[in-house]
Amino acid sequence: MLRTETYTMNFGPQHPATHGVFQVVLTLDGEKIVKAEPVCGYLHRGIEKLAESRTYQQVIPYTDRMDYLASMLQNWGYVMAVEKLMGLEVPERAEYLRVISGELSRLASHVLATGVYALDVGGFTGFLLCFRERERMMDLLEELTGSRMTFSYARFGGVADDAPEGWLEKLDKLMDDMPGYIDEYDGLITGNEIFQARTKQVGGLSPETAIDYSLSGPVLRGSGINYDLRKAKPYSIYDRFDFEVPVGKNGDCFDRYFCRVREMRQSVRIIKQAIEQIKEIDGPIKGKVPKALKPPKGDAYAEIESSKGILGFYVVSDGTNKPHRVHVRRPSFINLGYLDEMSRGWLIADLVAILGSIDIVLGEVDC
Amino acid sequence: MEKKISEIISELKEKFPQIKTSEETISVSTEDLLGLMQELKNSFGFNYLTNLTAADYPADAKGKGDGNEDEDDGEMEIVYNLTSVYEKLYLTVKARVSRKNPEIPSVFPVWGGANWQEREVYDLFGIVFTDHPNLKRILLTDNFEGYPLRKDYQWVGGRK
């Protein structure tokens, strides 16, 4: 057999398929990956350090800027940790608004992930198609919060504002249309022969490894582990909704992608039920919370299921109005940690498919 | 479920008499850490390291050591959030190291997920995880000076 020298090649940080400023230093044998060393930190802004010199309320906008594709869920995770620390109650209507806005944010994130993944493996039509629906979601989120991406909608003990008049009806209409749209993705992307050839049996991940490496979200569930925090330890009011947790079989790129598509259908189901139930509930959207927030000394860790996986916030209070320490367990960061082992032995083209299937956001990886 | 956790904690107390426990939290010394973690994984099914982080607790409130060698400089706390994916159990383990000599065994042999999380803590706090296979900076550049998440780190700029 012909022996070749290995050589190194930089993949990124200005490569469109890295989804942001992210570099992988590849050691290659021909086109085969021997080693893939991820280099992150290009977008590190020190949010955890900044949080220590801000008041508790001032930290909320920073969380928007981590996973900016699902900001609602980031806001939610942070306020939940502080609420746990202070033992705050959240009014029922606010919980519903959080679930509705959070699931809408998850949908927007998954729609983007689906479209971008199609683009990664060479299908431009799928990409544009997904942006058609994303625009409708963004319009709705803008109407609710005044912003298209950085929402800062959650507040301690509630949410910023109630849904505007007629908003829930518009959302209901979109949810009626969504299953048809998702069918289109299935037809155009999921069922596409080239797409399947690029993603099936590529980048396999065994369930044992997925658990061992703390992977979460569709990456974990794609390997057949049924672990979704909304079901495993239902926070907020998730125990009131009827939905399923989609899992994959083979743990390959296709399964991870397909988990996301099926999760979209479940999010639509949850939002439909929430809209139906919130009609019956009238009341405040914010609990009684003091303006100058000084949580008692101590620490709290709260976690929610974000669109990328388990999003945890660890908050330490020293009794003042500024947090002593805020740590974010970022699913994108930890999921990316296994990229090296996962891409060994595959071709450069497969690396694009593998990286896309993990669905990372660099704002969250680098924090 | 709560009962299960309390059962686990009392069983652990028999094996590791030095540990201090409260509801769902175990405080352990750095010597006992690795043994306790292995026990938690192998005998009690805590197969998932959800979160690993640290927090700085300097002795001086402002976080400025006065450079006196003998003076107590305070401690740093490493926090592990563990999950049993199949049993749906949750447990927190805490261990403290001195700020003067921040060294703790790596839990990478127990959970692969510790790999990047320990590197992040090393990067931002300067805590050394012994026997970690690849302990180097991850978010900051290799030639960065200092450990930004320590309380005595001086940074330029920002609002007052």
How far is C-alpha B146 from the geometric centre of its chain's CA atoms? 19
Which residue in B17, B29, B22 sits closest to B6, CA to CA?
A: B22
Q: Is the pLDDT of residue A275 over 80?
A: yes
Phi-psi map region of A262: left, alpha, beta (phi>0 left; psi -120 to 50 alpha): alpha
The Cα–Cα gap between A52 and A317 comes to 10
Nearest by CB to residue B140, choosing from A44, A53, A333, is A44
Cβ partners under 8 Å of residue A5, min gap 6:
none
Higher-scoring residue by pLDDT: B71, A44: A44
Which residue in B158, B58, B42 sits closest to A324, CA to CA?
A: B58
Which residue in B126, B148, B120 sits closest to B53, CA to CA?
A: B120
Q: Is the pLDDT of residue B154 over 90?
A: no
Q: Quick check: A225 and B85 CB within 8 A?
A: yes
B122-146 confidence digits (pLDDT tens): 999 999 999 999 999 999 999 999 9
From chain A, pick out residues whose CB is under 8 angstroms from the CB of B49.
Answer: 214
Q: What pLDDT, on the 0 to 100 scale, is given for residue A213?
A: 94
Whether the CB of B116 is below 8 Å from some CB of chain A: the reply is yes
The Cα–Cα gap between A348 and A346 comes to 7
Give me the mean pLDDT over the A187-198 stretch: 92
Q: Which two tokens stand for residue A184?
A: 């289109």
Q: Is the pLDDT of residue B66 over 70?
A: no
A117-169 confidence digits (pLDDT tens): 999 998 888 889 899 889 999 999 999 999 998 999 999 999 999 999 999 99
Give me the mean pLDDT over the A241-270 stretch: 94
Q: What pLDDT, on the 0 to 100 scale, is given for residue B63?
A: 47
Quote the DSSP letter at residue B137: -
Give me the mean pLDDT over the B71-99 stretch: 90
Q: Which amino acid, A160? A: A
Q: Is the pLDDT of residue B19 over 90?
A: no
Q: Is the pLDDT of residue B71 over 80?
A: no
Q: Is the pLDDT of residue A218 over 70?
A: yes
Whether the CB of B146 is below 8 Å from some CB of chain A: the reply is no
Map chain A to HEC letters.
CCCCCCEEEEECCCCHHHCCCCEEEEEEECCEEEEEEEECCCCCCCHHHHHCCCCHHHHHHHHHCCCCCCHHHHHHHHHHHHHHHHCCCCCHHHHHHHHHHHHHHHHHHHHHHHHHHHHHCCCHHHHHHHHHHHHHHHHHHHHHHCCCCCCCCEECCEECCCCCCCHHHHHHHHHHHHHHHHHHHHHHHHCCHHHHHHHCCCCCCCHHHHHHCCCCCHHHHCCCCCCCHHHHCCCCCHHHCCCCCCCCCCCCHHHHHHHHHHHHHHHHHHHHHHHHHHCCCCCCCECCCCCCCCCCCEEEEEEEECCCCEEEEEEEECCCCCEEEEEEECHHHHHHCCHHHHHCCCEHHHHHHHHHHHCCCHHHHHC
From chain B, pick out residues whose CB is under 8 angstroms from the CB of A51.
Answer: none
Q: Are strands A298-305 and B20-22 parallel, antiparallel or unpaired?
A: unpaired
Alpha helices, H only, chain B: 2-15, 30-44, 114-125
Whether the CB of B112 is below 8 Å from some CB of chain A: the reply is yes
Mean pLDDT of chain B: 86
- For residue B157, what pLDDT band results from cuts at 50, 70 and 90? low
Give me the mean pLDDT over the A37-59 stretch: 91
Share of chain A above pLDDT 70, in %: 100
Q: Which two tokens stand for residue A148?
A: 């298209």
Quote the DSSP letter at residue B60: S
Nearest chain B Cα to A50, which residue? Answer: B158
Whether the CB of A233 is below 8 Å from some CB of chain B: the reply is yes
From chain B, pick out residues whose CB is under 8 angstroms from the CB of A316.
Answer: 55
With a CB-CB cutoff of 8 Å, which residues 256-295 of chain A face chain B? none
Q: Which long-range contacts (CB under 8 A, 24 or more apart) does A167-171 make?
A: A167/A140, A167/A143, A168/A100, A168/A275, A168/A278, A168/A279, A170/A140, A170/A143, A171/A100, A171/A104, A171/A140, A171/A271, A171/A275
Residue keyed to tokens 């991940």: A205
The Cα–Cα gap between B48 and B32 comes to 19
Cis peptide before A13 (omega within 30 of 0): yes
Whether the CB of B131 is below 8 Å from some CB of chain A: the reply is no
Higher-scoring residue by pLDDT: B71, B136: B136
Q: Quick check: B81 and A227 CB within 8 A?
A: no
Q: What pLDDT, on the 0 to 100 scale, is given for residue B1?
A: 47
Q: Is the pLDDT of residue B67 over 90?
A: no
From chain A, pick out residues whose CB is under 8 angstroms from the CB of B158.
Answer: 50, 53
